[in-house]
Amino acid sequence: MSDTAKPVLSFSLDGKDLPFTPGETILQAATRAGRYIPHLCWHPDFVAHGSCRLCSVKLNGRLVSACTQLASAGLEVESDTDEINAQRKTLLQMLFVEGNHFCPSCEKSGHCLLQATAYQIGMEGPHFEEFYPDRPVDASHPDILLDLNRCILCELCVRASRELDGKNVFAIGGHGIASHLLVNSVSGRLADTDMSLQDRAATICPVGVILPKRRGFAVPIGQRRFDLQPLAQHAPEDGS
């Protein structure tokens, strides 16, 4: 090694060495190395939000969010354990019953991060009683459908619209179980915003809320992203 060569920094994830560069979070380092840690509200194009808690990993015996916790040399991180995956399964089950997720009739099926994560974690049913909340569908926009039944409040559309599109089309309103996605127009209708199909917010939704119209079945069921390859083998999200 030359005098100027930098040492390779690494930490341990599930007993295997994982190199990282200073400033990277545990999730960023894992994703770059092709190591899967479940997550829903994190996306590589945005600063971590830390709200879904699905990426929780164990560090020195306590749970931390892998999307917000910076990596540092010598950490011993546990992620793929029965205990942590059981907690993730419970979180997923709660997300499913809080909304209305009828996967067989959803055009995002096979492209949906929530559905793919549930398969990955081995969730076989909702376990809890369904809430069946009354949520609207907004078909007012000529090019984009909004089906709020499926919203998991990850705020990716809020961040995409604000940070990349410069528009602020979406916001989260309410508290606790009453939290919901808001459309920023006087009428509350998407048609009365300046949102367009070219916006990043139009394609960022990891579930089937924000859907470009007339494209739903361009890729047949059975040939979609997560139909072809399990989630854990995928590259970082592309928002599809």
Contacts (Cβ under 8 Å, ≥6 apart) of 61: none
In degrees and rounded to multiples of 5, residue 16 shows phi and psi of -115, 140
Q: Quick one: tokens of 13?
A: 């994830």
User: How many other C-beta atoms are found inside a 10 Å radius of the C-beta of residue 21?
Assistant: 12
Shortest distance in whole angstroms from residue 133 CB to ligand FES? 21
**Taking CB under 6 A as the rule, does residue 50 contact ligand FES?**
yes
Q: Which secondary structure element, helix H or strand E, spans residue 116, and what is its range?
A: helix 113-121
Please say which residue, 165 or 237, places its beta carbon nearer to ligand FES: 237
Give CA–CA dist 54/40, Å, rounded.
7
Out of 20, 42, 96, 226, name the contact with ligand FES by CB under 6 A.
Answer: 42
Out of 28, 31, 65, 120, name the contact with ligand FES by CB under 6 A.
Answer: 65
Out of 55, 67, 121, 210, name the contact with ligand SF4 by CB under 6 A.
Answer: 210
Q: Quick one: tokens of 149?
A: 């039944």
User: How many other C-beta atoms are found inside a 10 Å radius of the C-beta of residue 160?
Assistant: 25
Shortest distance in whole angstroms from residue 83 CB to ligand FES? 18
Out of 35, 45, 51, 87, name the contact with ligand FES by CB under 6 A.
Answer: 51
Side chain identity at 83, as an amino acid letter?
A: E
Nearest alpha carbon to residue 150 among 167, 175, 133, 165: 133
Out of 18, 29, 40, 75, name the contact with ligand FES by CB under 6 A.
Answer: 40
Shortest distance in whole angstroms from residue 186 CB to ligand FES? 32
- Give the neighbor-by-neighbor strand order of the sheet with 210-212: 137-138, 144-147, 210-212
Pick from ligand FES, ligand SF4, none: which does 181 bind, CB < 5 to 8 A by kind? ligand SF4
**Taking CB under 6 A as the rule, does residue 207 contact ligand SF4?**
yes
**Taking CB under 6 A as the rule, does residue 85 contact ligand FES?**
no
Q: Which of helix, strand or coil describes residue 146? A: strand
- Which range of residues in 46-54, 119-127, 151-159, 184-192 is near ligand SF4 by CB under 6 A? 151-159
**Taking CB under 6 A as the rule, does residue 87 contact ligand FES?**
no
The binding site for ligand SF4 (CB under 6 A) comprises 151-157, 181, 204-205, 207, 209-210
